[in-house]
Structure 1
């Protein structure tokens, strides 16, 4: 089963080219308010939803975000996570003030939009919601966590691929300037290792790191790239330390904290020096990548890398259950 999982992760790298321009349900040359690419939001239970709506619906948006408009939203969203559900009334009000129509179903929303931001904070309904978007053939960005289990995440990506529906997922932390400079500009030469950190609050019904640790794990993978073969995890009541060994022998670590001041960042180690990765830079860099994705139909992050990130976090859970022993990434329970 381990090999079948790995083969699917590798196969999924083809998704970026399999679902291309021919699948897009709109013109790439929209240049007025009347023919803007219409964005629909599923889930008004996270701060990401009004944040993206404000960026895309700004009176004078950045050039990278021009030609888009959030036109409709379906609020739900978490119903059984109180901290998320309690946000919905205020976020409905915020997006309505931006001219966004509130729909009473996902199906009604899908009839009114060209592309989708699947923002529901709770990973448990994500598979069912994603299937509706895929059935409607709408390209979609699916926010963290992609789903509440690795099995569901695989199904979402498999079904998007088989239906040639473009899909993209990433944490906004991937687009920290220094992390991008290390990965794509050779800022420190050959990457030798990375120590990343973020909050790692836990939510019932999700593997531990899926809920919030995803941010720091994505920083780690942005710097290191894919290719992690095994994971070990140690933990206390307050902190998790996850150590990954890459196929080429490099070591990367993620430290997640559940108490105290919550910050994001890390240090990258390279053949030409080390670099502190800096601080969170907001949603705008991710929104620009989402806009680029909606225009091209090609995910800026290889789907295989996204799948490996979640396999890494699932392996970290398995290591915890086994008392900290090393667990192969992608190992079937």
Structure 2
């Protein structure tokens, strides 16, 4: 325990605060899900539109059972911590709490999505670069083995299709809040440099077409109440790689990636990739509202 990385968690309105802590220190966590070397010491808990007081209190009891101290101020939460995990389901609060944590000199994991809008995400990006802050932000759909295998088979896809859920949030954009998972896979496979986005609403969700230079195209198919992930990668040479994600291990894979980062290793996801994800999400929401094809901002 003396050599463990001590983590301060900010926020308890997301199940991730429970799921990630479980994999670090729950006594009954299955061995194949456990990630040793990390320990959540404190959690700053507060109500947001994404979780009411009753739900927060239920989660508090679980964290306390795992040895986590529940706090009421940021100062108390981060005292003695080696790293910070911002686990706030409400993306409109991400910029505010990132700014509060940015002066601590600690590594920061900012849970998905990066922010509620591209404008706020760009502010986070600019502050991080200006002050050389060690930060990463990613969805748990960044690292599934099935996606890794598909990319190994088709490393430079010209055409791709991804499917995932369109969650309905209590506030803000559905595309930004839950489409982030599908777009994390899309950017991982297609890379950066998207030119335009067109969103089409249908009875069960939205279909989003992303266009790239050289006539490359990616499609994101977001369906309400359908919590499955997968897709297909293809190239002009005829290679094709369909994949379906096993959701049982995605949280464990993410925590493993975080362990290396939080103990001093490289950032597992370039922050430029995270900003591209946010640019696509924000542009997809704009296209949904306008009914037109919208250009993707590219001012990194």
Same fold (TM over 0.5): yes
Residue number in structure 2 paired with 1:227? 193
Residue number in structure 1 paired with 2:62? 94
| 1:157-212 Cα deviation digits (max 9, x unpaired) | 221222222111111111111212333xx323532221111111233543331111
1:263 to 228, 231, 239: 228
Give me the whole-angstrom Cα distance separating, in 1, the residues matched to 2:285 and 2:87.
24
Residue number in structure 2 paired with 1:275? 241
Q: CA deviation at 1:231?
A: 0.8
Give me the whole-angstrom Cα distance separating, in 1, the residues matched to 2:197 and 2:111.
24
Gaps in structure 2 of 5+ consecutive residues = none
Q: Does 1:327 align with 2:294?
A: yes
Q: 1:123 to 1:86 in 2, by over 3 A?
A: farther
Gaps in structure 1 of 5+ consecutive residues = 1-32
Secondary structure class of the residue paired with 2:2 = helix
RMSD of Structure 2 on Structure 1 (CA)? 2.2
Q: 1:45 to 1:189 in 2, by over 3 A?
A: closer
Residue number in structure 1 paired with 2:208? 242
| 1:282-321 Cα deviation digits (max 9, x unpaired) | 3000111111111235321111111111111111122222
Runs of 4+ in 1 over 3 A off after TM superposition: 58-65, 83-86
Q: Given that residues 143 and 250 in structure 2 are in contact (C-alpha distance below 8 angstroms), is that contact kept between their aligned partners in structure 1?
A: no
Q: Does 1:80 align with 2:49?
A: yes
Residue number in structure 1 paired with 2:278? 310
Q: 1:297 to 1:109 in 2, by over 3 A?
A: farther
Residue number in structure 2 paired with 1:164? 132
Q: CA deviation at 1:106?
A: 1.5
Q: Given that residues 115 and 294 in structure 1 are in contact (C-alpha distance below 8 angstroms), is that contact kept between their aligned partners in structure 2?
A: yes
Q: 1:193 to 1:205 in 2, by over 3 A?
A: same
Secondary structure class of the residue paired with 2:158 = strand
* Greater shift in the superposed pair: 294-303 or 229-238: 294-303
Give me the whole-angstrom Cα distance separating, in 1, the residues matched to 2:67 and 2:238.
50
* Greater shift in the superposed pair: 171-180 or 294-303: 294-303
Residue number in structure 2 paired with 1:125? 93
Q: TM-score, normalised by structure 1?
A: 0.82
Q: 1:275 to 1:201 in 2, by over 3 A?
A: same
Q: CA deviation at 1:74?
A: 0.8
Q: Given that residues 191 and 268 in structure 1 are in contact (C-alpha distance below 8 angstroms), is that contact kept between their aligned partners in structure 2?
A: yes
Secondary structure class of the residue paired with 1:194 = strand
Residue number in structure 1 paired with 2:80? 112
Q: Given that residues 166 and 298 in structure 1 are in contact (C-alpha distance below 8 angstroms), is that contact kept between their aligned partners in structure 2?
A: no
